């Protein structure tokens, strides 16, 4: 059974978070979530993830 089709470049991130292809896309998602949120777990900024090479959202405010 050939598994190459199933796992071609589809590395799932260890964090389990949603990955965005660009910082702009991540920031856009933050704004849309903030507009519809009701006060809990609102993402505040985006950070680049070296594991999956995409952008994730975080609710942490402090800089790394």
Cα atoms found within 13 Å of the Cα of residue 56, Cβ hemisphere only: 15
Residue 25 near Zn ion by CB under 5 A: no
When binding is defined by CB under 5 A, the residue of 13, 25, 27, 29 that contacts Zn ion is 13
Question: Mask 42-61, x = binds Zn ion (CB under 5 A)?
Answer: -------x-xx---------
Burial 27-53 (b: 16+ CB within 10 A, else e): bebbeeeeeeeeeeeebeebeebeeee
Q: How far is the CB of 8 from Zn ion (least distance, A)?
A: 18
Residues that bind Zn ion (CB under 5 A): 13, 15, 49, 51-52
């Amino acid at each position: 059974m050939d598994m190459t089709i199933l796992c071609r470049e589809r590395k799932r991130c260890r964090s389990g978070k949603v990955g965005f292809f660009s910082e702009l896309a991540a920031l856009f998602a933050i704004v849309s979530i903030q507009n519809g949120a009701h006060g809990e777990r609102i993402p505040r900024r985006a950070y680049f993830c070296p594991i999956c090479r995409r952008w994730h959202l975080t609710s942490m405010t402090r800089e790394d």
